[in-house]
Chains A and B, each alone.
Chain A
Amino acid sequence: MSEATTNIIEARNLRKTYRMGRVRVNVLKGVDLSVREGEWLCVLGASGSGKSTMLHLLGGLDRPDRAGADGGGPGSITYGGKDLRKISAGELNRYRNREVGFVFQFYHLLPELRVLENVTIGAMIRHGRFGYRGAAKREAIDSARELLTAFGLADRLRHRPTELSGGERQRVAIARALVNRPRILLADEPTGNLDRVTGESIIETLAETRERLGLTVVMVTHDERIAARAERVVRLRDGVLARDGFAGAATAGGA
């Protein structure tokens, strides 16, 4: 387990409201969260508690509210000294592409692409139309091969997602998230669509990869057993951070 010292990302007074027809739903109601560099943080919470929303905000996939409905000031998400709420759309794209990697519950692989193409898609976006060639292309493909080989998928490079099992698909998704060597891995219920044995193997893969690459992992789950593998667990309840502590404590006081 890595030594967690400085905060890599900090969320302050994080609020998010969705409008569903005429109804406004306050999903996050002022969450403060600091993630230390290299730590494995688990966000525990029931369905609808706002944990996926928080992950999307941390990953720059969505933007927090400017000001709270209760009149509170605007929240912030600080990464590398910059507030994600204030950076340009282009900078936010680059942040998603290079600094974070997403792993989703339903894998979200592009069905028309083969395994190797799915993994290198982030590198293609990173280098652009004219940059993805020569050394950059070779480097991306080597990196993808290396990750897929490490995940036991060396013989599946030319397969399509529909030809893979659930566990294999999730490993491909993890490889895709890591191909640009991000500093943070954001995993949204990565085992939620898998059986117990496969789910454990995915968690094992994540743990080994984090150890090997020195990654910071923020994982969202409602499974207490998986949360127990994390270094630190926070619990979200009704859009509010209910508990922040080490995994053992969280598990002990679990639902």
Chain B
Amino acid sequence: MYQALLTRKYLTSKVMPVLAMLAVTLSVGTVLVTWSVMGGFLETLLSTGRKLVGDVTVTWPTIGFAHYDDLIERLEADPEIEGAAPIIETFGLVTFPDDSVRFAQFKGVEGESFARVTGYDDSLWWRPLDEPTAKDSEAQDPRLGDETGYTDTQGRERRWGWDQLLRDGMTLTDEGRPAAVIGIAAGGFSRRTSAGIYVPQAAIQRGAAGGATTLYEFLPHSDVTISVVPIDSTGRPRGEFGLSTQTVPVANEFFTGLYEADSQAVLVNLDLLQEMLDMDEARRVEAGAGGAVVNPETGELELRGFEDMGIDPERVTSVLVRGKSASSREQAVALKSRVEEIYASFAADHAGEVPSPERIFVLTWREINATMIAAVEKETGLVLFVFGLVCFTTVFLVLAIFWSMVSEKTKDIGILRSVGASTLGVAWLWLRYGVAIGVVGSGLGTLGAWAVIANINEIHEWLGNDFGPWLSKVLTSVSSMFGGGKIEVNLIIWDPAVYAFTTIPTDMDWVKVSVVVSMGVLTCLLGAALPAYRAGRMDPVKALRFE
């Protein structure tokens, strides 16, 4: 009882415990803000990473597998499954209008089914926009107008409506022609600004003799050339020079926020890619003794002596599956098991024509992105470890402050012992005092962190737009007094030109708060332990004589 009374009195009458409390408040607040921002970063990364993949993927890479329509039908009949979509994934080259050639990851998709199982429709960048985005305070986003247009290098005026671009992106066609939708960072024809928007920019066309021409091109509705290597149903590349090349228009560009996808992925109309990769439906023949013979009656070339082996059905490399609820790790794993069961029955009905259930790859989106997720989780862990280590110094701060307070309160300890307080009772007084400082400090730190997290974007804006320039001005004035030059202080840490997110993502929950608050209290308890032991062991007579 007396411990509670003295704890309260010491807390309200001394400056030193306020300092210890402040240290705990800062530590708890810092760790919570860091953890919340890193957690938000991870969550945002995961959700953006899922924009172009489903919850579960059935994959037979390179060669692909047939009868996928049947598999999709079976999957979509399951009550737990929202939808399924065929997709071809392969690698190749893309040649842009400035003649630059880039390595690309091609995805052959059907716009409608692909949008049903992924966030594809949301990722299409060029679309009508009613309101400026969060950071576009000057409303410079080209999408805010009724239509887009510019005069190209040849002096031609080119105009399109945003609605049309969105429709073309969804169908992956341009005026009926199969088209491509390209990651917005792949071509370098648009520049991301600090407002988190894209504006078309000039590209440089380099000549063989070392010359360079500036090329102003808005990528949608321009043509790009795609080149892929066809693989037949036995897994062999077609012929010696079997590169399959097509020039296709760009229907739109997509933005997921995941740089790897935005800079490398090229979505292509599924039918077109199947045709280019020889994965479309075709008659399979075996060469016999004959060959190409000219019919003497008609004068036309005919194939003779070939044995008709039947129809080779069209193939895809993957089927993406979206569950009705598969956002958590456990739900995704449950969905994966369901998909495996459905695939097993599908494979039994197509025995010998599709990969066996034991060989096919059925993976959740977490498993597909395991490397990226693990990397971000490790980074979060590392940052927290470093911050935790820095905050651990609070233990020594509390220890130093408590040691000093025990010295200051030596006489009080003697008095308490003289009226019957036990050694444990006196030690508990100081431990309790440490816990009280930890609880109050952690509570204030949590409140502070909550306030910062709730307003982190406003604080960031203020730091970058108001405080940073003001500080630059002050520092420049001081510098000029000593003959120095201009000093620029840039306090924009989360620049949307660098990061794919326009606002700083945060994710603060009660689990994080509980862990950090417990660590804050434990820190104080550890810091108070040694001084408490010293107080308890103090000789009461010496304590009473202490001056």
Contacts and interface: CB of A to CB of B under 8 A. Distances in A.
Interface of A: 56, 59, 61-62, 89-90, 93-94, 96-98, 102, 104, 108-110, 112-113, 117, 121-122, 124-129, 131-132, 176
B389 interface: no
A110 B412 contact: yes
A94 B541 contact: no
A121 B416 CA distance: 8
B541 A125 contact: no
Nearest to B423: A89
A122 B541 contact: no
Nearest to A53: B541
Contacts of B5: 113, 117, 121, 124
A89 B415 contact: no
Interface pairs A-B: 3 shortest CB-CB: A97-B420, A112-B9, A132-B1
A89 B420 contact: no
11 contacts: A62-B541, A108-B418, A110-B412, A121-B419, A122-B419, A122-B420, A124-B2, A126-B420, A127-B1, A128-B1, A129-B4
B420 A94 contact: yes
B119 interface: no
Nearest to A99: B420
Contacts of B422: 89-90, 93
Contacts of A132: 1
Interface in B1-53: 1-6, 9-10, 13
Contact of A102 (B1, B2, B3, B419): B419
Nearest to B411: A108
Nearest to A179: B419
A52 to B, nearest CB: 9
Interface in B413-440: 414-423, 425
A196 to B, nearest CB: 25
A108 B425 contact: no
A56 B541 CA distance: 8
Please classify the interface of chain B as helix (H, G, I), strand (E, B), loop, or mixed, using the class held by over half of its residues.
helix
A108 B544 contact: yes
Interface of B: 1-6, 9-10, 13, 411-412, 414-423, 425, 539-541, 544
A108 B416 CA distance: 10
B419 A113 contact: no
Given A89-B423, A104-B544, A112-B9, A121 B418 contact: no
Most chain A CB inside 10 Å of its own CB: which residue of B5, B9, B420: B420
A79 B540 CA distance: 21
B540 A108 contact: no
A20 to B, nearest CB: 12
A129 to B, nearest CB: 5
B543 to A, nearest CB: 10
Given A61-B540, A108-B544, A96 B418 contact: yes
B18 to A, nearest CB: 15
A227 to B, nearest CB: 23
A93 B2 CA distance: 15
Contacts of B539: 62
Contacts of B420: 93-94, 96-98, 122, 125-126
B537 to A, nearest CB: 12
Contacts of A121: 2, 5, 416, 419
Nearest to B547: A106
Given A113-B5, A124-B5, A176-B419, 19 more contacts: A56-B541, A61-B541, A62-B539, A62-B540, A93-B420, A93-B421, A96-B417, A102-B419, A104-B418, A108-B411, A110-B412, A112-B13, A117-B5, A122-B420, A124-B1, A125-B420, A125-B425, A126-B420, A128-B1
Given A104-B544, A108-B414, A125 B421 contact: yes
A98 B421 CA distance: 11
Nearest to A102: B418
A109 B3 CA distance: 16
A131 B539 CA distance: 27
